[in-house]
């Protein structure tokens, strides 16, 4: 049964990984708006993801 002495610290490390994931989710703002994503998924056609860098993709049309 002494293997449990190894398994327990390992389980803590694993759980710490989940805690880190939670921290990341909170820090990236996923807990700030829980309504819009549920609407967004309805209209998500997947064809044209919005450009993140405003300058790069759109061509100048002036």
For position 1 contacting other proteins by CB under 8 A, the verdict is: yes
For position 42 contacting other proteins by CB under 8 A, the verdict is: yes
Which residues contact residue 51 at a Cβ distance below 8 angstroms, ignoring those fewer than 6 apart? 57, 58
Residues found in the chain: 62
Dihedral sign, Cα of residue 38, residue 41, residue 43, residue 44: positive
For position 62 contacting other proteins by CB under 8 A, the verdict is: yes
Tell me which residues touch other proteins (CB under 8 A).
1-2, 4-5, 8-9, 11-12, 15-16, 18-19, 22-23, 26-27, 31-36, 39-40, 42-43, 45, 48, 50-55, 58-62
């Amino acid at each position: 049964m002494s293997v449990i002495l190894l398994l327990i610290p390992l389980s803590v490390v694993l759980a710490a990984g989940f805690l880190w994931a939670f921290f990341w989710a909170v820090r990236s703002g996923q807990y700030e708006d829980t309504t819009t994503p549920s609407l967004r998924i309805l209209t998500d056609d997947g064809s044209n993801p919005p450009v993140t860098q405003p300058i790069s993709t759109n061509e100048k049309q002036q």
